Amino acid sequence: MFLDYNYYDSKYNLTVQKYAVKDIETLALTKQRHSVLRVIRESDRHLTANEVFEDARRLLPGISFATVYNSLRYLKNEGLIGEIRLGTDANLYDRKLTRHDHAICTKCGKLVDIEMEHPQELVNRAASIAKFRPESLEFTLRGVCPDCLERD
Ligand SMILES: [Zn+2]
Ligand SMILES: [Zn+2]
């Protein structure tokens, strides 16, 4: 259903994996959910629910925030979009579905994907400290992005 491809982002010195919907029309979705999915798929950023709402309204005038919010939950539960929770900030929605990490800019809030293997030793150590059986580890790099560094 989905076609994935990788590209190298020299600006961020990262390999970014992107997903493109091969045929979004084959999904049995209501037109509201379809619009919300399209907004996320077509964005090259991670979007808040409010941003999704603003864009979805352009595709489907009259769609309510509640409907957008419910659609986001549905799409997330169906595994069609990713959701990122960063503490107390608003959740962000992600078109990329495979496990990946994020770097967040502490100046402008930009969030970029990081493709990186976690050393098994780090996973084991975190699990041993927490006394958990490990399943996955998420890593968030906080720092200053290249655009903000340039502006300084
Ligand atoms: Zn920045
Ligand atoms: Zn992401």
Which CATH number belongs to the domain containing residue 2 in this structure?
A: 1.10.10.10
Q: What is the DSSP string of the chain?
A: -EEEEEEEETTTTEEEEEEEES-GGGS---HHHHHHHHHHHH-SS-EEHHHHHHHHHHHSTT--HHHHHHHHHHHHHTTSSEEE--TTSPPEEES--S--EEEEETTT--EEEE--PPPHHHHHHHHHHHT--------EEEE--HHHHHH-
Ligand having the closest approach to the CA of 112: 2
Q: Among residues 56, 80, 98, which one ends one of the domains?
A: 98
Task: Look at residue 12 in the predicted model and tell me its pLDDT.
Answer: 44
My answer on whether 94 and 115 are in the same domain is no
Same domain, 18 and 88: yes
Shared domain for 65 and 137, answered yes or no, is no
Of the ligands numbered here, which is closest to the C-alpha atom of 40? 2
Residues 3 and 77 in one domain: yes
| Parent domain of 143 | 99-152
pLDDT at 109: 84
Residue 122 has pLDDT above 60, yes or no: yes
Same domain flag for 43 and 88? yes
In the predicted structure, residue 78 carries a pLDDT above the cut 60: yes
Residue 88: the pLDDT is 67
Residues 130, 89 share a domain: no
Looking at the structure, do residues 81 and 108 belong to the same domain, yes or no?
Answer: no
Q: Kindly state the average pLDDT of the residues 107-111.
A: 88
Mark whether 24 and 89 lie in a shared domain.
Answer: yes
Does one domain contain both 2 and 72?
yes
Q: Which residue has the higher pLDDT, 118 or 70?
A: 70
pLDDT value at 71 more than 50: yes
pLDDT at 11: 47
For residue 70 the two structure tokens come to 């419910």
Q: Is residue 64 located within the same domain as residue 111?
A: no
Total number of domains in the chain: 2
More confident residue, 26 or 126: 126
CA of 144 relative to ligand 1 center, distance in Å: 5
pTM of the model: 0.69
Ligand 1 center from residue 86 Cα (angstroms): 16
Same domain assignment for residues 24 and 79? yes
User: Could you tell me the distance, in angstroms and rounded to a whole number, from the CA of residue 111 to the centre of ligand 2?
Assistant: 8
Instruction: Give distance in angstroms: CA of 151 to centre of ligand 1.
Output: 9
Residues 9 and 34 in one domain: yes
